[in-house]
């Protein structure tokens, strides 16, 4: 079960919604961040980070699978349209797994088993859940809605059905000739508060909830993110990020070194090795 939890942590790191900010330790976000139509609020969610090019995120992550819960440190380095890198660091402080995602490739360095994976996304398309791409992961990192296999622009709001629910607006999209659903909830501050993705005829569902937004100067970001996964394993999977620390627009060196002692493997074999 512990080995399975390590694999789940890899998958969750690739899917989970985590948003970066500018050294945010400020006050709670204002009750009304922005007034406007649901279309204008949707546009604000999409363009808020247009000027940001890099981010570094530190957080304590809690992974629950059935009665098992694992706690550890996760560090994320992001370079716009280029790379997202996740480092899984247990409480003792040593990196045990590094996952690097680019628009066309996936790299994994497993320090515990001394193995590494270097594959194109096309080669692992059957293993990675449908609809998940570099553009989708980047959008989730920035707390932004997205469409299958790509980011979106404000004009794409015309593709969504919009409904009002309490203080929030709900934006729903169904891809043509598909039973998949993409639903996002934004509040009247133009903050994403929920993302709900259903695939494979609603047999699988991934949803993410953003809360505890804080504001400092012109920056606003959630302090807590909770993600749930149904249908990806026999039991529901939960991943929560707490105590986030954020830094924007500073040089973010992406670690790429691999020891000559490590053995190359493919993603499927690496997963099977974890599950032994």
pLDDT of 129: 58
Domain parsing of the chain, residue ranges = 2-275
pLDDT of 65: 78
Q: Do 99 and 115 touch, CB atoms closer than 8 A?
A: no
**Single pTM value for the model:** 0.81
pLDDT of 130: 57
pLDDT of 227: 85
pLDDT of 270: 84
Segment-wise mean pLDDT, segments of 10 residues, the chain, 276 residues:
47 39 45 72 91 89 81 89 88 81 92 90 70 82 85 91 94 89 93 89 83 73 84 81 83 85 88 67
pLDDT of 12: 44
CA distances from 254 to 76, 140, 191, 203, 257 (A): 10, 20, 29, 36, 9
Tokens of 269: 């074999």
Which own/partner contact pairs does 197-205 have at CB distance under 8 Å and 24+ positions apart? 197/131, 199/129, 199/130, 199/131, 200/130, 200/231, 203/231, 204/129, 204/229, 204/230, 204/231, 204/232, 205/229, 205/230, 205/231
Domain 2-275 coded CATH 2.50.20.10: yes
């Amino acid at each position: 079960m512990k080995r399975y939890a390590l694999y789940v942590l890899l998958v969750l790191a690739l899917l989970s919604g985590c948003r970066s900010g500018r050294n945010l330790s400020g006050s709670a976000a204002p009750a009304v961040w922005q007034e406007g139509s649901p279309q204008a609020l949707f546009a604000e969610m999409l363009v808020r980070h247009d000027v940001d090019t890099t981010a570094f995120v530190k957080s304590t992550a809690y992974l629950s699978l059935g009665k098992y819960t694992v706690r550890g440190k996760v560090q994320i380095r992001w370079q716009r349209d280029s790379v997202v890198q996740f480092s899984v660091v247990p409480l003792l402080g040593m990196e045990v797994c590094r996952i690097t995602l680019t628009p066309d490739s996936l790299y994994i360095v497993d320090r515990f088993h001394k193995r590494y994976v270097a594959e194109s996304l096309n080669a692992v398309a059957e293993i990675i859940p449908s609809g998940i791409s570099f553009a989708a992961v980047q959008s989730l990192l920035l707390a932004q809605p997205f469409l299958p296999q790509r980011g979106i622009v404000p004009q794409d709001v015309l593709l969504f059905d919009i409904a009002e629910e309490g203080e929030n607006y709900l934006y729903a999209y169904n891809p043509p000739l598909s039973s998949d659903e993409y639903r996002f909830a934004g509040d009247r501050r133009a903050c994403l508060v929920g993302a709900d993705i259903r695939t494979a005829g609603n047999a699988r569902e991934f949803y993410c909830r953003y809360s505890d937004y804080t504001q400092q100067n012109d920056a606003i970001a959630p302090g807590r993110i909770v993600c749930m996964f149904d249908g990806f394993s026999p039991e529901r999977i939960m991943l929560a990020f707490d105590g986030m620390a954020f830094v924007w627009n500073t040089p973010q060196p992406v670690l790429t070194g691999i020891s000559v002692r490590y053995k190359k493997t493919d993603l499927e074999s690496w997963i099977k090795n974890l599950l032994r």
